[in-house]
Every structure is written in C-alpha cells, then in structure tokens.
C-alpha cells in the first residue's frame, strides 16, 4: 500500500470529489515543499501544480516529469520571465502592461504563445498586487496589444482579503466574476476568456459558489508552510 509522506491524500480526494462535475480545475500549490511531495500527488494522477518563486520552479521542473503543467502563481518580476517562459503552462499573476509586454517578448523569442491570466486587485488590503478595473480597461485599449501575438490572455486571477469576514470575501469574488463575465462578452485582442482563477485553502468553497473554475490549494494538500 502506498504511504503518503507529504500529502494529505484524503483531503485531495475530498476536494477532487467536490470539483468533479463543476468543471473546476485544481492547481496543487507546492511552493516551499520538496519535489517528493509533488511526486506523491503526481502518482495519484495529478498534473497541475502551482509555484510562487522562479528559482524554485526552475529547479523542480528540471527534476520532475515533463508532463506536469506548471502554473506560476507568484509575483513575477520582468527580468525573470525568461527563465520560466520555455516551459510554463500558465502565468497567473500578470499585473502590469510592462510585464505583459515582456512575456510577449519572451514568447516571440521562443516562437510560441504564452498563456497568462491578468491579476485583478479585489482585496481591501493594499499589499495585494493586480490591476484595478480602470487599469484593465486601459490595457485593452492600448494599440500595441493587437501586435502582441505571443501572449494569450486566458482569463483573470484574484485573491480575496485575508479575513474571517465571509461576506466580504464573497463580495470580492462576486466582483471578479462579474468583471470576468463582462470581458467574456467583449471582443478583445489576444484574449480568450476561459479561466477564472480564485480560491485557496481557506476560501475555495466560497470561490466556487461565486463562479471560480480554477482553485489554487496548498496547505490543505501539503500541510502548513514554514
Ligand atoms: C500560496 C498561494 C496559494 C495557496 O495558499 P493555501 O492557503 O496554502 O491554499 C494560492 N494562491 C496564491 C497566489 C498563493 O501565493
């Protein structure tokens, strides 16, 4: 019998059961956890993993199976895009025009389209990164975007306030869902709205209720981080 050392397989199965039939993807957030922890879930058939730090992601990707879909969910610095561009599946945290432009540049070098989500600032906290609605509107009107053929904007990502106030979290998720739907109805360059990435260990059920179709879960699967 296979004994899991790093993963809570019971939680994994419970979450997968809940997501089944809801058309919602689970990204297992493995930041700070060893490659062996990722392999445990891989052996359960899981392929979508999320990482926050470029160097850590590059190291893990070089040690682990090629068919893992790597999601970069952290804050990405412009000068580090080149390290993950060759293999990353989806960059969740694109939060400025400058970063999007750089992703396009690296995509062009590799002659491929890099898939991204635009991070939207929905929390009350000042510290969370992301576009606000007017910055997002502005992005979609810049003429250069039509030329950035090496990015594919697949949707939006957001993080709710870190609070016990469920009503607040719910309304922040609802706001993002509404924005997602508005954009889905528009013809926008390089854009194909398919993914709404919201919800973590503490709030993923609320996020799904509010229309999330991708949740990013770490501690429920791999335990608390240092
Ligand atoms: C760390 C992290 C997560 C996972 O958080 P948990 O609370 O451990 O589930 C999800 N999304 C982002 C952007 C993160 O940085």
What pLDDT does 16 receive? 95
Q: Is the CB of 29 under 6 A from ligand 1?
A: yes
Burial class (CB in 10 A: 0-12, 13-18, 19+), 182: exposed
What pLDDT does 125 receive? 80
Question: Sign of the CA dihedral 19, 31, 162, 132?
Answer: negative
Q: Give the span between the Cα atoms of 158 and 151, in whole angstroms.
A: 19
Nearest-CA residue for atom 12 of ligand 1 = 73
Whose tokens are 């939207």? That residue is 120
Q: SS in 3 state form for 186-200?
A: CCCCCEEEEEEECCC
Mark the ranges of the chain whose per-residue pLDDT is less than 70. Answer: 1-2, 128
Closest ligand 1 atom to 219 CA: 8
- Of 18, 34, 62, give the one whose Cα is nearest residue 206: 18
What is the model's pTM?
A: 0.97
């Amino acid at each position: 019998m296979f004994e899991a050392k790093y993963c809570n397989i019971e939680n994994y199965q419970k979450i997968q059961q809940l997501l089944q039939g809801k058309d919602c993807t689970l990204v297992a957030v493995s930041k700070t956890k060893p490659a062996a922890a990722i392999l445990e879930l891989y052996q359960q058939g899981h392929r979508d993993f999320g990482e926050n730090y470029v160097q850590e992601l590059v190291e893990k990707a070089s040690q682990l199976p090629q068919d893992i879909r790597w999601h970069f969910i952290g804050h990405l610095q412009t000068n580090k895009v080149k390290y993950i561009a060759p293999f990353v599946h989806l960059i969740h945290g694109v939060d400025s025009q400058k970063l999007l432009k750089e992703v396009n540049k690296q995509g062009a070098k590799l002659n491929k389209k890099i898939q991204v989500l635009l991070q939207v600032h929905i929390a009350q906290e000042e510290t969370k990164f992301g576009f606000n609605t007017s910055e997002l509107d502005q992005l979609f009107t810049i003429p250069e975007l039509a030329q950035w053929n090496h990015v594919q904007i697949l949707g939006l990502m957001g993080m709710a306030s870190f609070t016990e106030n469920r009503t607040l979290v719910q309304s922040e998720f609802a706001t993002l869902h509404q924005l997602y739907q508005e954009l889905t109805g528009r013809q926008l360059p390089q854009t194909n709205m398919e993914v709404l990435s919201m919800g973590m260990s503490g709030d993923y059920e609320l996020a799904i209720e509010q229309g999330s179709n991708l949740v990013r879960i770490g501690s429920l699967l791999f335990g608390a981080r240092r």
